[in-house]
Amino acid sequence: MFIKTFGFMALVSAATLLTPLSQAASLSAAEQADLMQLKEITLNSDLSYQLIESLTTEVGNRMMGTPGDEKAVIWAQEKMKALGFDKVWTEEISSELWLRGQARAKIVAPYPQEMTILALGGSVGTPGDGITAQVAHFATLDELKAAKPGSLDGKIAFVSYRMERHIDGHGYGAAVGTRVVGASIAAEKGALALIMRSVGTDDNRTAHTGLMRYKAGVKQIPAAALSNPDADMLVNQLKRGKPVSFHLNMSSSREKQLVKSANVIGEITGSEKPDEVVVIGAHLDSWDVGTGALDDGLGIGMVLSAGHYIAKLPKRPKRSIRVILFAAEEIGLLGAKDYVKRHKNDMDKHMIGAEWDFGSGRIYRMTPGVGASALNGVRELAAYLAPLGVSLAPENNARAQSDMGLLSDAGMPSVNFSPDGLAYFDYHHTENDTLDKVNAEDLKQTTAVYTLFSYFAAQSAIDFRK
Amino acid sequence: MFIKTFGFMALVSAATLLTPLSQAASLSAAEQADLMQLKEITLNSDLSYQLIESLTTEVGNRMMGTPGDEKAVIWAQEKMKALGFDKVWTEEISSELWLRGQARAKIVAPYPQEMTILALGGSVGTPGDGITAQVAHFATLDELKAAKPGSLDGKIAFVSYRMERHIDGHGYGAAVGTRVVGASIAAEKGALALIMRSVGTDDNRTAHTGLMRYKAGVKQIPAAALSNPDADMLVNQLKRGKPVSFHLNMSSSREKQLVKSANVIGEITGSEKPDEVVVIGAHLDSWDVGTGALDDGLGIGMVLSAGHYIAKLPKRPKRSIRVILFAAEEIGLLGAKDYVKRHKNDMDKHMIGAEWDFGSGRIYRMTPGVGASALNGVRELAAYLAPLGVSLAPENNARAQSDMGLLSDAGMPSVNFSPDGLAYFDYHHTENDTLDKVNAEDLKQTTAVYTLFSYFAAQSAIDFRK
């Protein structure tokens, strides 16, 4: 499906490049000059990289409930102030605490081997000294779903499905189901625990964590992900046809204790229509492994830089630009849920929004999700972005990414920028998500795109609403 | 230097390809047919891969003194017998035991961060609850050497030099010095411990272990390697100019207890000159992390396959082919040292030898180290190997790799096969050295080369001695 779309998109992109800007351009000549200047500046600035370097080095990982998250909330406010935002504030949230603890696993028989695993986020731990049980192997989540009730009594369920690598990351959708719902499905069949191949495209001895959920009324069993090479090892032992005995010991726990965090919000106040806001966002939290350089340090660097360089223009754009660094995305979009609730009465003033929470390479496509009357304006924006290698998708159905998707659901017009995500799931939710994975040159392009989008949407008078 | 050599080699290789086989060919037409048949069989066989799969899955890692090493010695004998070797025996060695124990480290200040480390092989542990001390940073081993005596009193020395990636692995030589001698040099200046950037070319959160040695009469201090991203983090914190405090806790220990292992040797007995032996080897042990799939599972698979397919020919070659799987290479070439001592009186019957203990890609070059009168014979062999993409180096100075180098030093003629080593040091001595890193197609080529070499050297009457 995606391959066909790409073919069509290439044509659309070429057409866009050949279309002269409308004579009724939304930006004046002076405004167009400002936009071109913003492009030059952001394409030559390493500010986004320096922000990510600061965040990963001085804060590190930052899961809600950890000291890193508290530091990140302070870090973000200080940076916004230093970068020239007109208003900086926080909107507090609270949630129960999850503790990762330690996780150890090994194949006990037929051939003892140490296993590299990570607990899934939200998982309970194992009782006592852990669980040792026979492994029941399923190639896919559907196979696990098809297992007979009681057939997994006293066993550890193992799903070995491997995520596929695609530029737009669509392999994630096919793989992540096991992580999210697998434990309760396995528990319903009698399993003592769920283990799964990590949702990741790499071959590193590095497991991928990520959120799981328990179904109400079903026994909560421990759930963990094996690194890809460890999953291969387990599959190879199972292939020999002998019973495979596996030991799992996890001390993770779901605590009743409430912990706090906050959305950190900075605004460049509009000069003519300050109550109309263009929002760009990323999430401030990360998993508690790695330093969250890609997920979502990249987005944080980009949206802060966009705000900074627009704030440095001689004059504020007409509309306000609001940069939202969402809290607790990883553990269930908690910051975004709070934001939508808190801002339900002014959601109609959110003129358009975009998030960055996927990919690590250059942006190659823009997909709008706006009112039909705004499509000419979107094409005008696309013409400014085309020289950066960004084509305009033929669809007009974008729901914003990640946190911002909840604002789309609440009626906000949206735009999605699609970056090269080929390498993203090599590092996603692992120890390996560190600064060295950030490509400083690609980051200049993505920063330029978010900056130009923000300026254009705030300065033009286009009504993006449906 | 290497680039120049490559250019020259390409010419030599082309010349070799154009040279018709001498009319006084060392192999008869029937023998040439056998050789061509061996090429076809090995290029289409996955036996080497299956052997590595078996070793890594059923044995796993196998450092001398661990249960894995004991299992490996049994595994190797059983495989040699099953593969049709005429004689299979072991030559026992013993050594003191080193225990890895646990290793934990973190940056304490200015910005607390967990560190991924591995103890260097042979290192002592830290006293009590570990060491917390200020980091003294050196960009290279030479900078550490230049530090004034006493200047590191109470400090942890850190060498951040990064290994370079090259096809022939020559970046290793420039980087490994810190690992081998760095601890004693740091101790002489007063340091409490040595930490270093891993000797590796990857960007994984996976540290590289490897042998270190203490200088006699110098205080033995703990030594550990940080993964590349962790070394980057430490460098980035140091760059800020504030004192950096580091905590290191390692329970590794050097025990007086003696442990045993053995060289495992299999022979295809020669039909005409059984006391003249052609030796091919690899090392059976590995480090105690990963499963030793590349280091040296690859070599084990190749030399066992070579023996097997030559044993399946209707007739034994004239000379014996001896496959040596050396014990305890990683902890100081202990098996090779024993072999040279034990075989000093028949070393002159070792007609020629080759080891595989580097690289993971296809072989592109052969370098001989033989008597001048044997060079025509080497060119003849090169003509058989040229269609496999192997060129003949202009030099005649090869010292065999790794273990086999000690046999070269004892007078054995040698040949070195140079494989693509670009990716090798991404995985070398890490948890990440696992089966998925083996390229099954490249392995067919390398197996074919070792098989053809062995058959040619054993069947031809060429005297390779100097």
Residue B19 lies in a domain: no
* Main-chain dihedrals φ then ψ at residue A255, nearest 5 degrees: -100, 150
Tell me how many degrees the CA angle A35-A41-A45 measures, rounded to the nearest 5. 145
Beta bridge partners of B245: B109, B134
Instruction: Please name the residues between 382 and 401 in chain A that touch chain B, using a CB distance below 8 Å.
Output: none
Give yes or no: residues B403 and B346 share one domain. Answer: yes
Query: Kind of pairing, strands A113-115 and A103-109?
Result: antiparallel
Between the two ends of chain A, the Cα-to-Cα distance in Å is: 27
Q: Which residues, 6 or more positions from B308, have their beta carbon under 8 angstroms from its beta carbon? A: B47, B83, B84, B85
- What per-residue confidence (pLDDT) applies to A27? 95
Tell me how many degrees the CA angle B313-B23-B459 measures, rounded to the nearest 5. 25
Average pLDDT, chain A: 94
Count of CB contacts below 8 A, A vs B? 82
Reported as a single tens digit per residue, the pLDDT across A320-377 is 999 999 999 999 999 999 999 999 999 999 999 999 999 999 999 999 999 999 999 9
Nearest chain A alpha carbon to B430: A205
pLDDT band per the 50, 70, 90 thresholds, residue A305: very high
Give yes or no: residues B75 and B165 share one domain. Answer: no
CB count within 10 Å of CB B420 equals 18
Q: What's the whole-number mean pLDDT along residues A99-113?
A: 97
- Say if residue B9's pLDDT is above 60: no
Residue A31 lies in a domain: yes
Query: Long-range pairs for A218-221 at CB < 8 Å and ≥24 separation?
Result: A218/A184, A218/A187, A218/A188, A219/A187, A220/A124, A220/A183, A220/A187, A221/A124, A221/A183, A221/A186, A221/A187, A221/A191, A221/A192, A221/A193, A221/A194
- Say if residue B372's pLDDT is above 60: yes
Domain end, chosen from B226, B251, B276, is at: B251
Reported as a single tens digit per residue, the pLDDT across A182-208 is 999 999 999 999 999 999 999 999 999
C-alpha dist (Å) from residue A51 to A71, A330, A360, B241: 15, 21, 16, 18
Give yes or no: residues B219 and B286 share one domain. Answer: no
Q: What's the whole-number mean pLDDT along residues A93-122?
A: 97
Q: What's the whole-number mean pLDDT along residues B14-27?
A: 55
- Say if residue B12's pLDDT is above 50: no
Nearest chain B alpha carbon to A289: B114
Contacts of A236 in chain B (CB under 8 A): 53, 57, 435
- What per-residue confidence (pLDDT) applies to A365? 98
B59 close to A (CB below 8 A): yes
CA distance A274 to A28: 20
Share of chain B above pLDDT 90, in %: 94
pLDDT band per the 50, 70, 90 thresholds, residue A5: very low
Residue B388 lies in a domain: yes
Give yes or no: residues A370 and A442 share one domain. Answer: yes
**CATH number for A329:** 3.40.630.10
Q: Which of B74, B288, B432 is the best mutation test for A, with the most CBs of A within 10 A?
A: B432
- What per-residue confidence (pLDDT) applies to B25? 86
- Interface contact B205-A432, CB threshold 8 A: yes
pLDDT band per the 50, 70, 90 thresholds, residue B104: very high
Residue A466 lies in a domain: no
pLDDT band per the 50, 70, 90 thresholds, residue B24: low
- Interface contact B229-A113, CB threshold 8 A: no
CA distance A71 to A58: 9
Residue A218 lies in a domain: yes
Give yes or no: residues B356 and B453 share one domain. Answer: yes
Nearest 10 degrees: Cα torsion B227, B231, B234, B236? -130
A74 close to B (CB below 8 A): no
Reported as a single tens digit per residue, the pLDDT across A241-281 is 999 999 999 999 999 999 999 999 999 999 999 999 999 99
| Maximum alpha-carbon separation in chain A | 75
Q: What's the whole-number mean pLDDT along residues B34-59?
A: 98
- Interface contact B206-A205, CB threshold 8 A: yes
Q: Which residues, 6 or more positions from B68, have their beta carbon under 8 angstroms from its beta carbon? A: B59, B60, B61, B62, B286, B288
pLDDT band per the 50, 70, 90 thresholds, residue A3: very low
Closest alpha carbon to B200 in B221, B223, B179? B179
CA distance A288 to A62: 6
Q: What's the whole-number mean pLDDT along residues B375-396?
A: 98
Give yes or no: residues A244 and A270 share one domain. Answer: no
Closest Cβ–Cβ partner in A60, A110, A236 for B113: A60
B233 close to A (CB below 8 A): yes
Radius of gyration of chain B (CA): 23
Closest Cβ–Cβ partner in B205, B291, B435 for A431: B205
Reported as a single tens digit per residue, the pLDDT across B110-162 is 999 999 999 999 999 999 999 999 999 999 999 999 999 999 999 999 999 99
- Interface contact B111-A58, CB threshold 8 A: yes
pLDDT band per the 50, 70, 90 thresholds, residue A461: confident
- Determine the distance from the C-alpha atom of residue A314 to the mean position of all C-alpha atoms in its chain, rounded to a whole number: 34
Give yes or no: residues A182 and A197 share one domain. Answer: yes
Q: What's the whole-number mean pLDDT along residues B327-355?
A: 98
DSSP per residue, B122-165: T----STT-EEEEEEEESSHHHHHHSPTTTTTT-EEEE---PPP
Give yes or no: residues B445 and B312 share one domain. Answer: yes
CB A429 within 8 A of CB A295: yes
Give yes or no: residues B238 and B333 share one domain. Answer: no
Residue B313 DSSP class: S
Nearest chain B alpha carbon to A434: B229
Is the CA virtual torsion A32, A36, A42, A45 positive or negative?
negative
- Interface contact A430-B205, CB threshold 8 A: yes
Reported as a single tens digit per residue, the pLDDT across B278-301 is 999 999 999 999 999 999 999 999
3-state SS of chain A? CHHHHHHHHHHHHHHHHHCCCCCCCCCCHHHHHHHHHHHHHHHCCCHHHHHHHHHHHHHCCCCCCCHHHHHHHHHHHHHHHHCCCCEEEEEEEEEEEEECCCEEEEEEECCCEEECEEECECCCCCCCCCEEEEEEEECCHHHHHHCCCCCCCCCEEEECCCCCCCCCCCHHHHHHHHHHHHHHHHHHCCCCEEEEECCCCCCCCCCCCCECCCCCCCCCCCEEEECHHHHHHHHHHHHCCCCCEEEEEECCEEEEEEEEEEEEEEEECCCCEEEEEEEEEEECCCCCCCCCHHHHHHHHHHHHHHHHHHHCCCCCCCEEEEEEEECCCCCCCHHHHHHHHHCHHHHHHEEEEEECCCCCCCEEEEEEECCHHHHHHHHHHHHHHHHHCCEECCCCCCCCCCCHHHHHHCCCCEEEEEECCCCHHHHCCCCCCCHHHCCHHHHHHHHHHHHHHHHHHHHCCCCCCC
B102 close to A (CB below 8 A): no
- Strand ranges across the sheet with A193-197: A113-115, A103-109, A245-250, A131-138, A156-159, A193-197, A223-226, A117-119
pLDDT band per the 50, 70, 90 thresholds, residue A24: low
CB A414 within 8 A of CB A404: yes
Beta bridge partners of B414: B353, B369
B367 to chain A, minimum CA–CA distance in Å? Answer: 33
Contacts of B430 in chain A (CB under 8 A): 205
Tell me how many degrees the CA angle B235-B237-B240 measures, rounded to the nearest 5. 110
Q: Could you give the count of Cα atoms lying within 13 Å of A267 in the half-sphere of its Cβ?
A: 17
CB A145 within 8 A of CB A122: no
Reported as a single tens digit per residue, the pLDDT across B177-229 is 999 999 999 999 999 999 999 999 999 999 999 999 999 999 999 999 999 99
B111 close to A (CB below 8 A): yes
Closest alpha carbon to A98 in A212, A265, A273, A252? A252
> In B245-374, which residue ranges form alpha helices assigned H by DSSP?
298-311, 334-342
Nearest chain B alpha carbon to A54: B236
B70 close to A (CB below 8 A): no
As for how many domains chain A has, the answer is 2
Radius of gyration of chain A (CA): 23
- Say if residue A287's pLDDT is above 90: yes
A232 close to B (CB below 8 A): yes
CA distance A231 to A161: 9
Domain end, chosen from B211, B227, B251, is at: B251
Q: Which of A204, A206, A286, A428 is the best mutation test for B, with the most CBs of B within 10 A?
A: A204
Closest Cβ–Cβ partner in B60, B204, B434 for A111: B60
- What per-residue confidence (pLDDT) applies to A9? 37
Residue A464 lies in a domain: no
Range of the domain at A226: 101-251
B274 to chain A, minimum CA–CA distance in Å? Answer: 39
State whether residue B448 is helix, strand or coil: helix
- Interface contact A233-B57, CB threshold 8 A: yes
pLDDT band per the 50, 70, 90 thresholds, residue B461: confident
Contacts of B228 in chain A (CB under 8 A): 436
Residue B6 lies in a domain: no
B437 close to A (CB below 8 A): yes
Q: What's the whole-number mean pLDDT along residues A140-168?
A: 98
**CATH number for A195:** 3.50.30.30
Average pLDDT, chain B: 94
A74 to chain B, minimum CA–CA distance in Å? Answer: 14
Instruction: Please name the residues between 316 and 375 in chain B that touch chain A, using a CB distance below 8 Å.
Output: none
Query: Kind of pairing, strands A363-369 and A414-419?
Result: antiparallel
C-alpha dist (Å) from residue B258 to A169, B287, B325: 53, 18, 21
pLDDT band per the 50, 70, 90 thresholds, residue B20: very low
- Say if residue B15's pLDDT is above 70: no
Share of chain A above pLDDT 90, in %: 94
Nearest chain A alpha carbon to B116: A431
Give yes or no: residues A28 and A153 share one domain. Answer: no
- Interface contact B57-A203, CB threshold 8 A: no
Which of the two residues, B84 and B8, has the higher pLDDT score?
B84
- What per-residue confidence (pLDDT) applies to A25? 86
Residue A109 lies in a domain: yes
Tell me how many degrees the CA angle A373-A375-A380 measures, rounded to the nearest 5. 125
Cis preceding linkage at B168, omega within 30: no
Give yes or no: residues B310 and B357 share one domain. Answer: yes
Give yes or no: residues B214 and B286 share one domain. Answer: no
Reported as a single tens digit per residue, the pLDDT across B215-270 is 999 999 999 999 999 999 999 999 999 999 999 999 999 999 999 999 999 999 99
- What per-residue confidence (pLDDT) applies to A175? 97
Q: Which of A70, A160, A427, A432 is the best mutation test for B, with the most CBs of B within 10 A?
A: A432
CA distance B380 to B459: 13
Contacts of A432 in chain B (CB under 8 A): 203-205, 229
User: Per mean pLDDT, which range of A108-112, A212-216, B13-17, B359-363 is the poorest?
Assistant: B13-17
- Interface contact A291-B237, CB threshold 8 A: no
CB count within 10 Å of CB B75 equals 21
Structure tokens of A374?
């705004």
Contacts of B57 in chain A (CB under 8 A): 111, 113, 233, 236-237
Closest alpha carbon to B325 in B55, B57, B98, B120? B55
- What per-residue confidence (pLDDT) applies to B466? 85
Domain end, chosen from B251, B271, B298, is at: B251
Q: What's the whole-number mean pLDDT along residues B300-305?
A: 98
Query: Kind of pairing, strands B319-326 and B363-369?
Result: unpaired
CA distance A77 to A87: 10
- Say if residue B6's pLDDT is above 70: no
Give the ipTM of the model, two decimals please. 0.93
Share of chain A above pLDDT 70, in %: 95
Query: Kind of pairing, strands A245-250 and A103-109?
Result: antiparallel
pLDDT band per the 50, 70, 90 thresholds, residue A306: very high
B435 close to A (CB below 8 A): yes
A16 close to B (CB below 8 A): no
CB A251 within 8 A of CB A102: yes
